Amino acid sequence: MKIVVLDGFAANPGDLSWKEMEALGECVIYERTSPEELLMRAQDADVLMTNKVVINAQAIEQLTCLKYIGVFATGYNVVDIEAARRKGIIVTNIPAYSTDSVAQMAFAHLLNITQQVGHYAQANQQGRWCNQTDFCYWDMPLLELAGKQMGIVGLGNTGMATARIALAFGMKVCAYTSKDSQSLPTGIEKMSLDELFASSDVVSLHCPLNEETYEIVNAERLHTMKPSAILINTGRGQLVNEQDLADALNGHHIYAAGLDVLSQEPPTNDNPLLSARNCFITPHIAWATSEARTRLMKTAVYNLKQFLAGTPVNNVAQ
């Protein structure tokens, strides 16, 4: 059994161990694999492990030994699932490993925007507080979350975890969700998407990316939001039309945005959000806490063990 890890560096840059996976067969681990290198590196692999390396239908057709693809993520859009299904290839993902970490990042962005911790810490390192006449100073709005409305788009694992944090802060919580309103936990109100965007002080995106949600945040929807509203995206970059969001921020149609994802990663230098007013961007790291990556690695090994035992789990190509 030959196992090829195509891009192991992101999930494990060296602080975790590959020993459990290496014990399952001949294991070759590459830190990164370019599209041009894929076929050569994967040609005799029984098992491929990928995070962001795309395995399309053409590659699947040419990889005659391939029996299993393990995705180091919850989302599995990097694999052509239909092509894998046609060839009887098992494709697994890793659900819910980063739920708490992603919800934490959503609030890290929200608290940074409402309290400006980074701004004041940097200013004080440069001596600004030392030169003040008064015992304190502020030059940005400081906002209290209690009593404000958070609208959550998508009430899966991370959406629900984010809702629980919001409720603990004393926020009103509404959600755009396929769940029945009677089944929602106490304190969460179901709303239409348009009503949610128009009435919320904070909108946090936690829905999957598909044809219906592609650029769900666009100029029309942004213009219905409050001028004081904050947008948080820890989901997928393509949920947002980036030019429309930059225009809304620069035009003061909304107050701020906290983003952990962009439509292209890494972004090009001309991405309009990189220079937009009150736009705070982290480099897709909500999932990357040590605890979440440890769970990811353990589940990846478990998925593969179950496949080898003939009882596959987390198979998204059924």
Structure token pair of residue 255: 């107050």
- Cα dihedral value 140, 146, 148, 154, nearest 10: 110
Q: Which of 109, 221, 236, 293 is catalytic?
A: 236
For residue 40, what pLDDT is reported? 97
Q: Which of 206, 253, 284, 293 is catalytic?
A: 284
Structure token pair of residue 313: 């789990």
How many other C-beta atoms can be found within 10 angstroms of the C-beta atom of residue 17?
11
pTM of the complete model beyond 0.75:
yes
Identity (one letter) of the amino acid at 181?
A: S
Structure token pair of residue 97: 């490993």
Give tens-digit pLDDT for 259-316: 999 999 999 999 999 999 999 999 999 999 999 999 999 999 999 999 999 999 999 9
Residue 289 CA from chain centroid, whole number: 13
In CATH terms, the fold of domain 2-97+290-308 is Rossmann fold (3.40.50)
For residue 75, what pLDDT is reported? 87
Q: Which of 26, 265, 277, 291 is catalytic?
A: 265
pLDDT at residue 239 is higher than 90: yes
For residue 318, what pLDDT is reported? 86
| Residue 31 designated active-site | no
Do 2-97+290-308 and 99-281 show the same overall fold?
Answer: yes
For residue 157, what pLDDT is reported? 94
Question: 99-281 has which CATH code?
Answer: 3.40.50.720
| Residue 189 designated active-site | no
Using 50, 70 and 90 to split pLDDT, how confident is the model at 254? very high
Using 50, 70 and 90 to split pLDDT, how confident is the model at 2? very high
Domain locations in the chain as residue ranges: 2-97+290-308, 99-281
Give tens-digit pLDDT for 57-92: 999 999 999 999 999 999 898 999 999 999 999 999
Give tens-digit pLDDT for 175-224: 999 999 889 999 999 999 999 999 999 999 999 888 999 999 999 999 99
pLDDT at residue 117 is higher than 90: yes
pLDDT at residue 49 is higher than 90: yes
For residue 70, what pLDDT is reported? 98
Mean pLDDT of 118-140: 94
Mean pLDDT of 36-42: 97
| Residue 85 designated active-site | no
